[in-house]
């Protein structure tokens, strides 16, 4: 038996619909065949083997029926969830494109296996630490004798309008200098575009620094435990060369850097987060650097 799964296009935005075509070619008759098709989100943490896989939409194309030898084909519409972040309540996932699910689903329907709070999913994100994938999966067979085939699809990350929290000091104790960011975009930043702004440095003691830089850091971490899985500096901008900072003498510096075009977008899953930090670093010789982090979000669709 062979199973072919194709989709009308490779990428989708939240709220789009996947048109999936399934072709099953069987060399023998099946009297009690099951053919099911689903759109699934897969969240993996390669470092510890964790994998959470859930269907957000699906249908039984055959359920205990005859599948004659030869070729059979179906085309099915599978809605991509509009919601991209974990819901607080099942009603947060309400979407008129889906039939009732869970206990409210029609008897014998595929939707009985999908709980209402499962109709969501973060965008595709394949960087280090945390992987989010999407696939259209078809399963065919009788009883326990089943065969599967998957077709990967990409769900893009839309722009976000949420304002980030203020910058925070990274390190213990009182900082030798307070750094604030200004002039940053009001929402998320698209991959391949530049992000710039200004730093204000207010020293609380005399500091002789080798320079000031801004790093763009991709962080994958658990949530809410806040254990960092991976962090990578993916871009750097120099804000100042060697300088001296003195109390009550604020200094301002402009910076600009480019988010790499192949950067994976920011995601929030149940248990894991991928986020980006603008990290301002005062490089201090023979002392710990003074570091302040400012969270930004990254998207990859218009």
Give the pLDDT of residue 3.
97
Last residue of a domain, one of 110, 126, 155: 155
**How open is the CA angle 76-80-84, to the nearest 5 degrees?**
165
Residue partners of 38: CB distance under 8 A and separation at least 6? 55, 57, 58, 59, 78, 110, 136, 137
Q: What is the mean pLDDT of residues 268-293?
A: 94
**240-261 pLDDT tens trace:** 999 999 999 999 999 999 999 9
The answer on 118 and 205 residing in a single domain is no
Tell me which residue of 87, 122, 116 sits closest to 104, measured CA to CA: 116
Hey, is 158 helix, strand or coil?
coil
110 with 183, same domain? no
Residues 80 and 173 in one domain: no
Domain boundary among 121, 155, 189: 155
Mean pLDDT of 263-272: 93
Does the pLDDT of residue 225 top 90, yes or no?
Answer: no
Per the domain annotation, does 163 fall within a domain? no
Q: What is the pLDDT of residue 164?
A: 76
- Same structural domain for residues 7 and 145? yes
User: Looking at the domain assignment, is residue 49 inside a domain?
Assistant: yes
- Average pLDDT of the chain is 94
- Structural domain including 11 reads 2-155
Domain at 131, CATH number: 2.60.40.640
- For residue 47, pLDDT over 80 is answered with no
Instruction: State both tokens at 241.
Output: 């060369």
Residues 172 and 149 occupy one common structural domain = no
Do 218 and 234 contact (CB within 8 A), yes or no? yes
Please give the backbone phi and psi of residue 182, each rounded to the nearest 5 degrees, phi first.
-145, 165
For residue 199, the Cα-to-chain-centroid distance in whole angstroms is 29
* pLDDT value of position 226: 80
Give the mean pLDDT of 280-301.
95
Residues 260, 127 share a domain: no
- Rounded mean pLDDT, 184-205: 95
Closest by CA to 289, choosing from 171, 195, 186, 198, is 171
Q: What is the pLDDT of residue 48?
A: 79
């Amino acid at each position: 038996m062979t199973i072919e799964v194709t989709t009308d296009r490779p990428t989708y935005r939240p709220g789009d619909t996947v048109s999936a075509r399934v072709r099953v070619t069987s060399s023998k008759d099946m009297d009690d065949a099951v053919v099911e098709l689903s759109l699934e989100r897969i969240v993996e943490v390669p470092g510890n083997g964790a994998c959470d896989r859930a269907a957000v939409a699906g249908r039984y194309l055959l359920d205990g029926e005859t599948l004659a030898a030869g070729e059979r084909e179906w085309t099915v519409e599978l809605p991509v969830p509009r919601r991209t972040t974990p819901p607080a309540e099942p009603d947060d996932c309400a979407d008129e494109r889906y039939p009732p699910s869970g206990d409210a689903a029609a008897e014998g329907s595929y939707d009985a296996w999908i709980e209402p709070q499962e109709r969501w999913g973060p965008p595709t994100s394949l960087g280090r630490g945390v992987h989010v994938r999407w696939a259209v999966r078809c399963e065919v067979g009788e009883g326990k004798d089943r065969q599967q085939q998957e077709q990967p699809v990409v769900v893009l990350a839309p722009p976000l309008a949420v304002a980030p929290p203020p910058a925070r000091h990274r390190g213990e104790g009182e900082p030798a200098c307070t750094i604030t960011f200004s002039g940053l975009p009001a929402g998320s930043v698209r991959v391949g575009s530049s992000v710039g702004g200004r730093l204000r440095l207010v020293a609380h003691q005399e500091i002789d620094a080798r320079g000031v830089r801004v790093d763009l850091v991709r962080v994958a971490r658990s949530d809410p435990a806040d254990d960092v899985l991976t962090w990578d500096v993916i871009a750097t901008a120099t804000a100042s060369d060697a300088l001296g900072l003195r109390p009550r003498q604020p200094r301002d510096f402009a910076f600009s850097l480019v988010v790499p075009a192949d950067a994976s977008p920011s995601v929030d899953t149940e248990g894991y987060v991928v986020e980006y930090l603008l990290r301002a670093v005062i490089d201090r010789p023979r002392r710990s650097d003074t570091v302040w982090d400012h969270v930004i979000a990254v998207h990859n669709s218009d």
